[in-house]
Amino acid sequence: MSDAPTACVLIIGDEILSGRTQDANLKYFAARFAELGVRLKEARVIPDDADVIVDTLNTMRARYTYVITTGGIGPTHDDITTLCVARAFGRQVIRHEGVVQRMTAYFGDRLNEARLKMAEVPDGPGVSLIESEMTIAPGFRIENVFVLAGVPSIAHAMFESLAPQLKGGAPMLSGNIGAGVREGDIATGLAAIQKKYPSVAIGSYPSMRDGGFHTSIVARGTDRALIDKALEEVATLMRAQGGDPRSDA
Amino acid sequence: MSDAPTACVLIIGDEILSGRTQDANLKYFAARFAELGVRLKEARVIPDDADVIVDTLNTMRARYTYVITTGGIGPTHDDITTLCVARAFGRQVIRHEGVVQRMTAYFGDRLNEARLKMAEVPDGPGVSLIESEMTIAPGFRIENVFVLAGVPSIAHAMFESLAPQLKGGAPMLSGNIGAGVREGDIATGLAAIQKKYPSVAIGSYPSMRDGGFHTSIVARGTDRALIDKALEEVATLMRAQGGDPRSDA
């Protein structure tokens, strides 16, 4: 598992850190990365602050195989992501001719300087557009950094558009099982199962369901047979505590 | 604004990075920090990996006034936050006598080694419990780091329990206004308003509503009168584009 490609998600936007907006992209990207065999190692939420964006990008793009950013590529003054990505790579921004042409056709005399900002990409090699049917303004890729919109429907569409470019390792598979037991009652047995299956990552997630205690166990790894065997042992453990284990989400 | 206390939220948990679980704590904390006059500068989602947790904690607690962590303080093998926090501070963990006593009273002969892990806190000075009515197991504070549960109802209750300990600056106030206009049509005017009110942070958030384009403008700052004045100018701008601006969320 350790030689699989890695990724980091950078969520850029004051609106997340102010509590105005609930992020609705990370969970989507995370699930897709798992399917694609890319290990999502970290996510960061950072403000619309140029120095912070540039510094964070330069740290992340050196550390991970892929970096995905969301937010800040619109037409308004607070959309500074493209400029910051270019700065992080020591590049200038230029207007992409093809994007200018289709924006001219689409907006006509409503095309203005603000909108033309959405045609900007970093200059130089290793840059390509990330298209989506959701919007006329594209995202873009520069080397290992993928720059997407923040609006979830657009961000998800752009992710699907770039996904074929990602080189994944073995897909991360998972299985789960849950029962009305308290995790403190199965914790010791669970630790023994984790020790027996070191290549399967076993997580325990307690919650309240129908007014009673519930524990969901998630097993993740690249070997379906091992996941299933580990979960069978978890089921036995749960039954010993009076639980009625079932696959659950 | 720049001398206000700052904060970072560390969300610890493989379940967020695997796409299994939607984080439901950051938005709550972010909104409360704004009310309390603490500037939330960053949030990070990191895996259940001891070295990553320790390194990240040590970076964050040196950089920000307050660090809030969520997740990883339960009884199972994947709950390693308390140990990692202690390690970050170069401390041992000890069992808190008062917590052991009440857990003994509550669990009786179901108290076991796994559950006793939830009575552990770092040894030494500057450590205090973070109680909540939601659970018998507490969180804890060590110096400027607050360690909370991950389950949202418990995390929120623990936040309210620690909130009186935070020294805030001027509360971050906000106002908003939205209309059925495209942000590209108001972007130039909006930039001029932002320039005129440098102490008010103006954000623009496009969306689709009722099948048409909608733009929400959020103005944030510590001076209510300036926020209102800036938003009045935004309303004028929206009306000039045929919009019918109203306060919106």
- Cβ contact, residue pair A76, B204, below 8 Å: yes
Q: How confident is the model at residue A120 (pLDDT cuts 50, 70, 90)?
A: very high
Q: Where in chain B is the domain with CATH 3.40.980.10?
A: 6-165
Where does residue A73 rank: exposed (0-12), middle (13-18), buried (19+ CB within 10 A)? buried
pLDDT value at residue B3: 79
Q: What pLDDT band is residue B208 in, cutting at 50, 70 and 90?
A: confident
CB contact under 8 A, B40 and A29: no
Q: Rounded CA gap, B159 and B204, in Å?
A: 30
Task: Give the ipTM of the model, two decimals please.
Answer: 0.95
Contact B148, B7 (CB under 8 A): no
Shortest distance, CA B141 to any CA of chain A (angstroms)? 22
| Beta bridge partners of residue A201, listed in sequence order | A220
Does residue B181 carry a pLDDT above 90? yes
Tell me what pLDDT residue B211 has.
Answer: 87
Q: Which residues of chain A does B113 touch, with a Cβ-Cβ cutoff of 8 Å? A: 188
pLDDT at residue B233 is higher than 90: yes
For A162-193, the DSSP string reads HGGG----S--EEEEEEES--HHHHHHHHHHH
- Which part of chain A is CATH 3.30.70.1130? 173-240
- Mean of pLDDT values over B115-129: 97
Angle CA(B216)–CA(B218)–CA(B219) in degrees, nearest 5?
A: 150
Q: What is the pLDDT of residue B249?
A: 58
Task: Indicate yes or no: CB of A42 within 8 angstroms of CB of B42.
Answer: no
Joined together, the tokens standing for residue B214 give 């909608």
Residues of chain B neighbouring A207 (CB-CB closer than 8 A): 151
Q: Rounded distance, CA A122 to CA A96, Å? A: 9
CA B199 – CA B13 distance, rounded (Å): 36
Per-residue pLDDT tens over the stretch A183-195: 999 999 999 999 9
Contacts of B220 in chain A (CB under 8 A): 14, 18
- Is there a contact between A18 and B26 if contact means CB atoms under 8 Å apart? no
Q: Buried b vs exposed e over A37-67: b needs ≥16 C-beta within 10 Å?
A: bbbbbbbbbbbbeeebbbebbeebbeebbbb
Distance from CA of A31 to the nearest CA of B (A): 4
pLDDT over 50 at A84, yes or no:
yes
Q: Do B206 and A74 touch (CB under 8 A)?
A: yes
Q: Decide if B191 and A26 are in contact by the 8 Å CB cutoff.
A: no
Q: Tell me which residue in A45, A79, A205 faces B43 most closely, judged by beta carbons.
A: A45
A contact test, residue of B14, B76, B113 with most A CBs within 10 A: B76
Q: How many angstroms separate the CA atoms of B247 and A14, rounded? A: 19
- The Cβ of residue A176 has, within 10 Å, a number of other Cβ atoms equal to 19
Q: What tokens were used for A77? A: 């003054």
pTM above 0.90, yes or no: yes
The model's pLDDT over B67-98, given as tens digits with 9 standing for 90+, comes to 999 999 999 999 999 999 999 999 999 999 99
- Is the CB of B190 less than 8 angstroms away from the CB of A115? no
How many CB atoms neighbour CB B209 within 10 A?
Answer: 12
CA-nearest of B41, B67, B56, B127 to B92 is B127
Residues from chain A contacting residue B115 (CB–CB below 8 Å): 184, 187
CA–CA distance, B72 with B7 (Å, rounded to integer):
20
* Helix/strand/coil for A141: strand
The predicted model gives A27-39 an average pLDDT of: 97
Type of residue numbered A26: L
CATH 3.40.980.10 fits A6-165, yes or no: yes
* Element (DSSP H or E) covering residue A41: strand A39-46
Run of H or E including A225: helix A224-240
- Angle CA B133–B139–B141, to nearest 5: 125
CATH of A173-240, one of 3.40.50.140, 3.40.50.170, 3.40.50.2000, 3.30.70.1130: 3.30.70.1130
CA distance linking residue B154 with residue B134, whole number of Å: 6
